[in-house]
Chains A and B, each alone.
Chain A
Amino acid sequence: MLELELFIPATINGLTNGAVYAVIALGLTLIYGVLHIINFAHGSLLMLAMYGVFFLYTLFGIDPYLALPIVVPTMFALGYGLQRGVISRASHGKDENILLVTLGLAIVIDNLALYLWSSDTRIIDTPYAFATIEFGPVLVSTPKVIALVAAVLIAVLFWLLMTRTDLGKAIRAVAKERTGAELVGINVDHVYAMSFGLGIACLGVAACLLLPTFYVTPHVGFAFVLIAFTVVVLGGMGSFMGALWGGLIIGVTESLGGLYLGESLGQIGIFVLFILVLLFRPTGLMGQRS
């Protein structure tokens, strides 16, 4: 079963899936890198973004890709507001409180979604949902190729933002040394909220990339968030390039594992790889040694 006819499309497919994992993980890693917390509400906020894309399509006829300029800023604003209005206020600056607040948020958002939209599985039928690109005998789903390109773009944009802008410098400064950053006049609360907002904005991108091929339910976040946590740890907590590479590696491992070991057993590949990386590079592939 090592035919190239299967191997090549499965690898490409793994890369395209991994790209979406990477976008979700980018947000998670940014929030971890700056706020030093794991955002347990990440899956729930992804679900909210997916409902947003779904309703924009069904109520207003806005295509998921064209919804990007609406969903991404909305998610950013939501993230910014949540950090400033809820998380920072309720946690009183203690990391363990922040964890609990995000966990509480996840429970509230999930149940609110269940109450508002029921547990119904919803999916949209775009004209290009079934489109494929042919490379000889290899067929690749068009929406997935778009997701791959978009994910790489997002990672590059993030890298530029962090290295070339004042905001990026401020974020890095706060991430490294909070008190020092405060002393040189950086508004730490604003930087925290900006980081959280940007992390959540990533979920808006992921939602727009996912919806043409995936369904949405109030529990859809669980399907992605565990894998995103794995990607973050594998790539190195707080590392953007690590998240991108981690996502792609996990995507390909999952895809080839599924192909050769079966979909149920194939998931093992991800965790074997995960354990190996942690054994030999405890800080992750691109994580910095503390």
Chain B
Amino acid sequence: MRKKVTAMSRRQFVSGTAGTLLAGAASLGFPGIVRAKTSVRIGLVHPVTGFLAFSGSQCRTGALLAIEEINSAGGIHSMGGAQLEAVLGDAQSKPDIGAAEVEKMNEAGVAAIVGAYASSIGLATTQRAARHGIPHVVDVCVSDTIVERGLQNTFRFCPGYGTVARTAVDNLVKINEAAGSPAKTVMIVHEDSLFGTGTARLLSSALPDASFELVDVIRHPNPTRDFNNIVLKIRAQKPDIIIPASYYNEYILLARTLSQYKVRPMAIYSVLGGTASSYKFLKEFPRTAQFIMDCNHWYDPSHPAAPELRRKAKERGLFFTYELFLTYCATRLLADAIERAGTDDRAAIIGALGQSDWSDHFMPYGPTKFLNGQNQGARPLNTQILEGDIKVIHPAEYATADAIFPAPALG
């Protein structure tokens, strides 16, 4: 029987030790070259299946477009050109699945996470990411609870529904006053998860303070198969303004049913997610979309980078929706933080995000400045469908058209 030789000879020991010392010294002297990581893993959690699949897929594409651009521009320069590598997760439109995806991403060793489109899912993913100290950039989730739980890892680029609801009511008052205050009554139709319920609650308390009479608040589940009853109620109560706060599929059914029953209020004024911020709806239903107003996430129309991204989305047969461009920006914001951190260490990235003053984006927010995880400059814009296009009507510094209010009668 042969004896297995495991002992190390003197010569092997000397050469091995010298090699290790040399490599160690080199890595201290040239950290960027020798210790360069070839890739940095970024987790993308979105609901790409289930009832939110359309919006979730748009988010995912936005993030992938950003990663593609960053990689083709040389990756993370401070890490020797490390490429960003997307780790994809599907929340299946359910918060618990979103949280489970975060666990998988933690196992996969992601440096950070971008997600999760819906507020209810984002609430779960940010919390689970916090448990593992993973930085989480929130793309579209608007519930303010997301940034009010003191989670150190959570950073939201876009405005929350508190800011959006306040801005929406302020701007509605201005638009109404400019027309001689013809609108007196308002009705809210909202979906019954975190986003719609929270938005409706904020609007319900702000509207009476702005001298609007709130005639009814109607909630509906996802999916809602039929909007006839809701429109019957709207028809019976004849509000001057209808404010929907629903996801896309339900929104199209509501807008179509309103058209069908010939309900034309002075304004359909959507808060967060409406026709006046959807090129898709505009293309498919130009007549129904006409004159609808939104207060929503929207880009600075004078910025040259937005049309460029819109062109890229179009090349892929996609619509340029706020889901797509917000997640694109959120991913670039994260890449900027990794660039400044110069490492894929999670704590270092959280530190860099907290100090972020990123301004290389096309949103009307100015340089980023985070307080308790919320970007302080984030704000929505008011848009309206006019002449077959989406125009910004408020505030004046971004406006590309004057608001038409009240909407002309049908016919």
Contacts and interface: CB of A to CB of B under 8 A. Distances in A.
Nearest to A141: B260
B261 A121 contact: no
A288 interface: no
Nearest to A119: B53
A10 B228 contact: yes
A263 B220 contact: yes
Contacts of B221: 263-264, 267
Contacts of A55: none
A139 interface: yes
Q: Could you say which of A118, A125, A214, A219 has the most chain B C-beta atoms within 10 Å of its C-beta?
A: A219
B284 A123 contact: yes
Interface in A248-290: 255, 258-259, 262-264, 267
Interface string A213-233: 111011100111001000000
Select the residue from A119, A130, A144, A259 with max chain B CB neighbours within 10 A. Answer: A119
B226 A13 contact: yes
B54 A217 contact: yes
Interface string A10-50: 10010001000000000000000000000000000000000
Given A132-B261, A219-B51, A223-B223, A119 B285 contact: no
Interface residues of B, number: 34
Interface stretch (B115-123, B201-209, B249-257, B298-306): B249-257
A223 B53 contact: no
B48 interface: yes
A263 B230 CA distance: 8
A166 interface: no
Nearest to B52: A119
A214 B250 CA distance: 10
Interface stretch (A1-9, A66-74, A97-105): A1-9
Contacts of A263: 218-221, 224, 229-230
B232 A9 contact: yes
Given A262-B218, A263-B229, A130 B285 contact: no
Contacts of B53: 114, 119, 217-219
Given A119-B56, A219-B53, A10 B192 contact: no
A263 B192 CA distance: 9
B163 interface: no
B315 to A, nearest CB: 15
A285 to B, nearest CB: 22
A121 B229 contact: no
B48 A119 contact: yes
Contacts of A259: 229, 232-233
Interface string A125-143: 1000111100000010100
A10 B232 contact: yes
B284 A264 contact: no
A258 B284 CA distance: 29
Q: Which of B192, B223, B236 has the most CB of A within 10 A?
A: B223
A177 interface: no
B304 to A, nearest CB: 28
A129 B229 contact: no
A6 B236 contact: yes
A114 B93 CA distance: 14
A230 to B, nearest CB: 13
A24 to B, nearest CB: 12
A70 B233 CA distance: 38
A120 B53 CA distance: 7
Interface string B231-256: 01100100000000000110011001
B289 to A, nearest CB: 12
A130 B248 contact: no
Nearest to A3: B236
B259 interface: yes
Contacts of A120: 54, 57
A211 to B, nearest CB: 13
B4 to A, nearest CB: 51
Contacts of B284: 123, 125
A184 B221 CA distance: 52
Nearest to A142: B260
B225 interface: yes
Contact of B219 (A17, A114, A264): A264
30 contacts: A3-B236, A10-B229, A13-B228, A13-B229, A17-B226, A110-B49, A119-B48, A119-B54, A119-B56, A119-B57, A129-B256, A129-B260, A139-B261, A141-B228, A214-B225, A215-B252, A215-B253, A217-B54, A217-B249, A219-B50, A219-B51, A219-B53, A223-B223, A258-B229, A259-B229, A259-B233, A262-B219, A263-B224, A264-B219, A264-B220
Chain A to chain B: the 6 pairs with minimum beta-carbon distance, closest first? A119-B53, A263-B220, A13-B228, A130-B260, A223-B223, A264-B192
Interface of A: 3, 5-6, 9-10, 13, 17, 110, 114, 118-121, 123, 125, 129-132, 139, 141, 144, 213-215, 217-219, 222-224, 227, 255, 258-259, 262-264, 267
Given A123-B252, A213-B256, 10 more contacts: A6-B232, A13-B232, A114-B53, A120-B57, A125-B284, A130-B260, A222-B223, A224-B225, A263-B230, A267-B221
